[in-house]
Amino acid sequence: MKVLKDIRDGYVLWHANRLKLPIFVPSNIVRKKVMFSGRVQNVGFRLELFRIAQRLKLKGWVRNLADGSVEAELQGEESKVDFLISSMQRLKRASVTKWTITYVPLSEDEEEMKIIP
């Protein structure tokens, strides 16, 4: 099973690294909590979100929840956060059927993006 997971993760990273990033207009720094529901676990969703967030230089975290959904807090320029959310909604390996976005207070002590197991 580990071999299959390694193959999937390799594909996910390849896919996330080749996503074309637009030129972003500078915008306000925000922190948004996003809940993605649908078929979002066991498809590399969390890893792809993490890698794209790293490329966008966003801070925050992402984790799987017991109910099968994925939760993330994303902090950075609002245009970049919105681009990431939109990209994840269109991910073909997954099937995002519902998402909710909530503004939350900025976290000043966070320095990077991380995956919470």
Q: How far is CA 86 from CA 4, 52, 53, 66, 83, in A?
A: 28, 12, 12, 24, 5
Mean per-residue pLDDT for 1-28? 92
Q: pTM for this one? A: 0.93
Is the predicted pLDDT of residue 39 greater than 90, yes or no?
A: yes
- pLDDT tier at 44 (50, 70, 90 boundaries)? very high
**Which fold, 2-116?**
Alpha-Beta Plaits (3.30.70)
- Residues 60-114: tens digit of each pLDDT: 999 999 999 999 999 999 999 999 999 999 999 899 999 999 999 999 999 999 9
> How many residues can be counted in the chain?
117
What is the average pLDDT score of the chain?
96
Question: Where in the sequence numbering do the catalytic residues fall?
Answer: 46, 64
pLDDT attached to residue 109: 92
